[in-house]
Amino acid sequence: MHVHGYAALKEGGSMKPVQFDREPVRAGEVAIDISHCGVCHSDFHQVKNDWDNSVYPCVPGHEIVGRVTEVGEGVSRFKAGDRVGVGCMINSCRECDACRRGEEQYCSGPKGATMTYNGPIKPDGTNSYGGYSSAIIVREEFVLSIPEAISDAEAAPILCAGITTYQPMKHWGVKAGQRVGVAGIGGLGHMAIQIARALGAEVVALTTDAEKEPLAKELGASQTIAMDDDAALEGAKESLDFLISTIPYPHDFNPYVELMKADGKMVIVGNLIEFEDIQMSNVVMKRLVIAGSAIGGIGDTQEVLDFCARTGVRPRIELIAMEDIDEAFDRAKDEEVHFRSVIDMATLQKDADAKEIDTPVRGEVVNRATQPKATEPADVLVEA
């Protein structure tokens, strides 16, 4: 399969047109023509090597929606013409404890999960290329069905922003009557507000941008607190049962700790870099849990797609052309996107002079018979 796309060819470089071959469809795999791909904050972190784990050339994109064009021998869940999605992972060992319980993102196999781009979690010198491209091939178990109620463009961000915020709320049992704080009202945070509201919680938006206050309320927040408003912070002390932090850069976490009730849960999904010193006295004296959470398994990703279709939760998106990706990165960093850019892949020009890059890998199709355990969906108590 000959594919065109956009890639960063070196650390800190701008995105350039490229072309490459994907290996032919094998048994158990599905080929997909990509119609839309969301632009995630992690895409430009990887392009810039902010996490010191990038592999170049870097073809980002893990919020992929398109149509099946071919299926390999033994594929039973999909056929040509089906509308499908691919999220953050394309493979895993399928036999470790994490994979068996449907949490492939925590795969403890020899390579860990193979990410949609940037290769395996445990680097082995190979690379995978993501959705900033015209087509992709993925093993059947990592392909998602897109519900009819959700458009291609709207479905794309659910495959990362949706699952990243849904999964910790499900895991820690967010429910009606709780007060849930959402720190950072961007690509992830605007989904977190809607999902928490759909689960029946009272949602408090926590932001440093006053212009986002009315937007947060439109999305379902009952209250917005400006993090530079000392009086508001004092009045909100010990008022939150659960907090999800979607802020993607280092910041002072201590003001958020002050907002938590005893036995509160604080889950970090945005900042993979570092925090300033956290004052532990409040954490200890209130028996707080400070935890991290990474995306979600394939079963939960399908679950959140169905959840969004059922409740009306939708990302707010801006469609962009492929050639405008560098500008989209800059706008996202400057928090000018409300709230997710999505690339219309029909705008991708198949430039015959685009740079040829090496063929990517996607891992062997191993342990096809191993299926993860089913999990119970989160209860939906309030329609968004």
- Token output for 91: 């493979």
Q: What is the pLDDT of residues 17-69, one digit of tens each?
A: 999 999 999 999 999 999 999 999 899 889 999 889 999 999 999 999 999 99
Q: What is the pLDDT of residues 235-256, one digit of tens each?
A: 999 999 999 999 988 889 999 9
Instruction: Name the nearest CA neighbour of 227 among 265, 255, 202, 267.
Output: 255
Q: H helices then E strands: how many in the chain?
A: 11, 18
Helices marked H in 66-188: 97-100, 152-157, 163-171
Give residue 384's pLDDT: 43
Q: What is the pLDDT of residues 165-187, one digit of tens each?
A: 999 999 999 999 999 999 999 99
- Token output for 55: 């592999």
Confidence class for position 335, pLDDT limits 50, 70, 90? confident
| CA distance to 38, 39, 192, 228, 282, per residue, from 182 (Å) | 21, 21, 7, 16, 20
Confidence class for position 381, pLDDT limits 50, 70, 90? low
Q: What is the pLDDT of residues 281-293, one digit of tens each?
A: 989 999 999 999 9
Are 342 and 319 a contacting pair, CB within 8 Å?
Answer: yes
Pairing of the two strands 223-226 and 202-207: parallel
